[in-house]
Amino acid sequence: MADRLVVIGGDAAGMSAASQARRRRGPDELEIVAFERGHFTSYSACGIPYWVGGQVSRIDDLISRDPDTFRNEYRIDVRTRHEVTAIDLDRREVVARSLDDGGREVREPFDQLVYAAGAVPVTPAWARTDAAGVFGVQTLDNGAALLDWLTQDPPPRRAVVVGGGYIGVEMAEALIQRGLTVTLVERSPEPMSTVDPDMGVLVREALCALGLDVRSGASVTGLQSRDGRVVAVHTDAGTFPADVVVLGIGVRPNTGLAAGAGLPLGPTGAIRVDLRMRVMGQDGIWAAGDCVESVHRVSGQPVFVPLGTHANKQGRVAGINIGGGYATFAGVVGTAVTRVCDLEVGRTGLRERDAAAAGFEFVTARVESTNRAGYFPGAERMTVKLIAERHTGRLLGAQIVGRSEAAKRIDVLAVALWNRMTVEEMANLDLGYAPPYSPVWDPVLVAARKAAAELR
């Protein structure tokens, strides 16, 4: 008799796991049932800001494989609009309820289970409102609802984005592109708190130059509505009128079902998994994506880093193992890039406060350079910051703020970090040079040289 695999969550992690398992074990060997609460499978939440902003025109462009493709080509029994409500580990079955069919309940037995329920938005009390015009941007349905609101007649004119992380700034860009006046409210002293405040200042200055009203160091205290529609956002730094409010205040791992079933959670609140993405101590139970914690390769500590890049890799690892192969997930270094209009931000590794919390003694080096030779058309300023361990010179973290071709330079630094290179070694790296691509000393090399000098 065929084994049965049940997957909870039909996006990046869940469907990567299901597809990999299918590639290795045909339908006669492995039956696969995937439950997805929403309408879509394998969609790109990462593309929502660009869809709202108009750079991507159709929702279909954000779906890499739809349920019918999985059903027909992969022989995966995808049940969309089905919410899993419980996991019974003793009976090895999940309980799910149809969201369309009068709440009909089904019980589905499994030999192997993949828990890939992602993350859920953080919702402080003030954000739990019935007022129309307040939107999260976690799912394609959220994006569609926001787009509907933005295209009503007359269209909204003033937007407040709450949260200055990468999703908040990407949404701010989208709203600017749609012609709205945008206020960005961020509780931390500077936006993009994934970089150190001295780099965040550069982000704030650039956002202001784009015409955004940036209110950092301000906390939202409440929303005001009239006739059921949001009209303003109250903060401890003043009240801002709003015809639309977009929330980007972070996510937490979606572990309610897992915790209910007694699966182990780690110190970050996410599910604990081993190297093969098996839930710690649980045979045949796997977890991947935004609901699990990962090991940070620099600090050695468990971290919650909810990114699509990890969700895809972790799902793949789980699927290979379920399919009878062998794969491990090597951990994360926290590499992330983002763009708001023509401003680019990249980061990898530890920020100063992470390095201090992990117990490292460190030096920092910050340099100003350009993306191309200074005389070459289109040369733009770029700031690179490195953090290196004091006694060994090992790179601990890096951040870049600049314009075109700035952000993806972080990948060179991520590779150096991954391979535990010292800043002295990095200063000698053989990186490409031609005037359209960099100054003769690439900004990465200049920063490494400066950090090495700080160590002496």
Catalytic (active-site) positions:
46
Closest distance to ligand FAD from the beta carbon of 64 (Å): 12
Does position 83 interact with ligand FAD (CB under 6 A)? The reply is: yes
What DSSP assignment string belongs to 379-427? --EEEEEEEEETTT-BEEEEEEEESTT-GGGHHHHHHHHHTT-BHHHHH
Pair of tokens at residue 138: 């976690």
Pair of tokens at residue 174: 């989208």
Interstrand relation of 82-88 and 93-98 (parallel, antiparallel or unpaired): antiparallel
Does position 347 interact with ligand FAD (CB under 6 A)? The reply is: no
Does position 36 interact with ligand FAD (CB under 6 A)? The reply is: yes
Does position 354 interact with ligand FAD (CB under 6 A)? The reply is: no
Closest distance to ligand FAD from the beta carbon of 103 (Å): 14
Closest distance to ligand FAD from the beta carbon of 86 (Å): 9
Give the alpha-carbon dihedral of 419, 421, 426, 429, to 10 degrees: -40
Among 173, 243, 290, 354, binds ligand FAD (CB under 6 A): 290
Segment near ligand FAD (CB under 6 A), from 115-123, 176-184, 356-364, 392-400?
115-123
Q: Please check whether residue 292 is in contact with residue 270, taking contact to mean a CB–CB distance below 8 angstroms.
A: yes
Closest distance to ligand FAD from the beta carbon of 40 (Å): 7
Kind and range of the H or E element at 97?
Answer: strand 93-98
Closest distance to ligand FAD from the beta carbon of 175 (Å): 13
Does position 309 interact with ligand FAD (CB under 6 A)? The reply is: yes
Total of chain residues touching ligand FAD, rule CB under 6 A: 33
Q: Which is nearer to ligand FAD, 346 or 439 (CB)?
A: 346
Q: Which is nearer to ligand FAD, 87 or 365 (CB)?
A: 87
Q: Which is nearer to ligand FAD, 286 or 360 (CB)?
A: 286
For residues 202 and 195, give the distance between their C-alpha atoms in angstroms, rounded to a whole number: 10
Does position 53 interact with ligand FAD (CB under 6 A)? The reply is: no
Does position 46 interact with ligand FAD (CB under 6 A)? The reply is: yes
Closest distance to ligand FAD from the beta carbon of 87 (Å): 10
Residue ranges in 237-266 that form contacts with ligand FAD under rule CB under 6 A: 254, 257
Does position 308 interact with ligand FAD (CB under 6 A)? The reply is: yes
For residues 52 and 58, give the distance between their C-alpha atoms in angstroms, rounded to a whole number: 10
Does position 35 interact with ligand FAD (CB under 6 A)? The reply is: yes
The answer for residues whose C-beta is within 8 angstroms of residue 319's C-beta and 6 or more apart is 16, 17, 18, 19, 20, 21, 22, 23, 24, 114
Segment near ligand FAD (CB under 6 A), from 43-51, 279-287, 388-396, 422-430?
43-51
Does position 13 interact with ligand FAD (CB under 6 A)? The reply is: yes
Closest distance to ligand FAD from the beta carbon of 110 (Å): 14
Does position 49 interact with ligand FAD (CB under 6 A)? The reply is: yes
Does position 334 interact with ligand FAD (CB under 6 A)? The reply is: no
The answer for residues whose C-beta is within 8 angstroms of residue 185's C-beta and 6 or more apart is 160, 161, 162, 163, 164, 215, 218, 220, 233, 235, 240
Backbone angles phi, psi at 330, to 5 degrees: -85, 0
Does position 193 interact with ligand FAD (CB under 6 A)? The reply is: no
Q: What are 354-361's contacts with CB under 8 Å, separation 24+?
A: 354/299, 354/397, 355/387, 355/396, 355/397, 358/298, 358/299, 358/300, 358/301, 360/389, 360/390, 360/396, 361/389, 361/390, 361/391
Q: How far is CA 206 from CA 86, 190, 210, 402, in A?
A: 47, 12, 6, 9
For residues 169 and 206, give the distance between their C-alpha atoms in angstroms, rounded to a whole number: 11
Backbone angles phi, psi at 367, to 5 degrees: -130, 150
Closest distance to ligand FAD from the beta carbon of 308 (Å): 3
Does position 117 interact with ligand FAD (CB under 6 A)? The reply is: yes
Segment near ligand FAD (CB under 6 A), from 24-32, 46-54, 210-218, 419-427?
46-54
Binding site for ligand FAD (CB under 6 A): 8-14, 35-38, 45-46, 48-49, 83-84, 116-119, 137-138, 167, 254, 257, 289-290, 306-309, 311
